[in-house]
Amino acid sequence: MERIPILRMGPFLLITIQVDMHDKLAMQLQDDVAQRISDWGSSGVLIDISSLEIVDSFIGRMLANIAAMSRVLGADTVVVGMQPAVAITLVELGMSLPGVRTALNVESGMELLYGTLGTYLGAAHDRSEV
């Protein structure tokens, strides 16, 4: 089955979503991200949605879930590149995605992740002690 590829960039994961996802693909992505964070001990997840022309409530929830789940696993998530029309529609739909950090593009997203890297390294460290 096709999957959304997850690239490893040092301490971070980079996911570029370029296809119109059906529900199963989205669920698979959630599982894969959790697995990868665990496998590689990643401390950050960057999700690039600049190619997505539609984000409905299901995809919105997927993004929120990935962010929440990653946090529990000690990683920070940043969603980047949301298109203006998509942002306007999501707001109208009633989704504000609280708890999901955002940035304009991959570059700013990385800066954001590096900026908070300090705190999260600490958290991961504690976790490994347990």
Partner 1 sequence: MSNLGEIISRNEEAIRADWMKHMTSSVQRADLISKVELEEQSKDLLKAIVRGVSSGQPDDPSGPAWSTARELLQDISASRARQGFTPSETATFVLSLKQPLLAVIRRDLSGSQDELFDAIWKSTALLDKLSLITIETFMATREEVISRQQQELLELSTPVVKLWDGILALPIIGTLDSSRTQVVMEELLQTVVATNSRFAIIDITGVPTVDTLVAQHLLKTITAARLMGAECIISGVRPQIAQTIVHLGINLEDVITKAKLADAFALALQKSGRTVVRVSGAPSGNAVTATLQKEG
Partner 2 sequence: MTVVKSEQLPLQSSTDVVAARQRVRQMATELRFSLVDQTKLVTAASELARNALDHGGGGQMSIEVVNGLSRMGLKLIFEDNGPGIPDIQAALKDGFTTGNGMGLGLGGSKRLVNEFAIESEIGKGTKVTVVRWK
Q: Is the separation of the CB atoms in 67 and 77 below 8 Å?
A: yes
104, interface contact from partner 1, partner 2, none, CB < 5-8 Å by kind: partner 1
Closest CA to 43 of 68, 71, 66, 15: 71
80, interface contact from partner 2, partner 1, none, CB < 5-8 Å by kind: partner 1
75, interface contact from partner 1, partner 2, none, CB < 5-8 Å by kind: none
Surface-to-core class of residue 99, CB atoms within 10 Å of its CB (0-12 exposed, 13-18 middle, 19+ buried): exposed
Per CB under 8 A, the list member of 92, 128, 129, 130 interacting with partner 1 is 92
62, containing H or E segment: helix 57-72
Q: Applying CB under 8 A, which residues contact partner 2?
A: 20-24, 53-58, 61, 64, 84-86, 88-89, 92-96, 98
